[in-house]
Structure formats: structure tokens, C-alpha cells
Structure 1
């Protein structure tokens, strides 16, 4: 049961981080087109909540390196989102945080896979 739960949180985290990263990279290009789209930081906030949930479950059972990568990455994401919400200033830290989240979840997935074999 523990193995399945950990895999679920890793897959949730990887998926959320990947979708968020794609959203952050593609959406600015779409706003150039005359489609009437505008950026809404509340979408980023939804991704951040999913990521925080997955990270909080994973860091309880992972090693210190994986916990540090995920925590730093999530912190970068939150700083970027909150600066945009409250200061109306876009920081590019969200890209590094998203990449770090994907790397951290992949590291955790491989670490658990190695432990269970």
C-alpha cells in the first residue's frame, strides 16, 4: 500500500509540475495572439496547491536531498506566484521551480523504485 501511495503522489506531482510548466511557457505566447486571453495568476495558484499537497506527502517519507529539492522548488514557485498576485510583478523563478519539481519527483520515484527492488 505504501508503494502505491508514494507512486500516486509522485505521479500527481510530476503531472502537476509538467502541466504548470507547459502552461507557464506556452500561455505567454498565446497572449500575443488576438484571442482575448489574459494571464490569470489564480491558475498558477491552483497548480501550486496541488504541488504543495504532493510535496507535503512526499517529504515525510523521502531522503534529505529529495526533500530539499522539492521544498526549494515549491518555495520558488510560491514566491513567484505571490509576487505576481500582490505586487503585480512577474518573476521567472516559477520556471526554475517547475523544473525542480519535476526533477525532485523523478528522483523520489527512482529512489523508491530502487528501495523496493
Structure 2
């Protein structure tokens, strides 16, 4: 489902919605392949999202009204663009803050001598 050289699938699965929402929050609108390539680029190829991971998550986010989609013709082919909603904006910010807090908490557990 996820092609990841450095991180377990569990970690990626647990953060995929946050990743997608944050990318859309920062970029405005993106299409699926663009999302996969941006993640790959930002992580120096450490996280490679597959279609089997990305599209079900995009559909869930859309069902939750956190993103919307629209199709356009680009070079004679249909391309589906995803955009974040106002509710999605707030959700993306909350998820990012929660993840940062969680990461700090985990760091305190794993390397307590460095967090004092």
C-alpha cells in the first residue's frame, strides 16, 4: 500500500490524512500524481505514496467534507483536482498541531535525557 524505505506502513497510514490536508492547505489545489510527487520530493524519497493508499484517503477526506474535487481537461485528458474546504483548513491546522505535540511526547519517551 505504501512504499516507504524508512518508516513503517503503520506510521504512514496514521499520518496520511494529515499529510494530504497540509499539502492542500499549503498549495491550494493539487491532483493525485502531483500529491505523490510532492510527498516524495519533500521527504527525499523516504515516503512514496501509491495510488492504492492515496485515492481511498482522498475519497474519505471528501466524504468528510474536508476537501472537494473538480475535473478539468488537461492535454486532452481528464485530471481531477482536489482543494481543501474551510472545514478542512481548520482540521489541517488541528491535525498538524496534534502531530507536533505527539512527536514531542514520543521524543520524551524515547530520548528523555534530551527533553529536559
TM-score range, shorter chain: 0.3 to 0.5
Task: Using CA pairs under 8 Å that are at least 6 residues apart, name the structure with larger relative contact order, 1 or 2.
Answer: 1
Larger proportion of strand = 2
Larger proportion of helix = 1
- TM-score, normalization by structure 1: 0.36
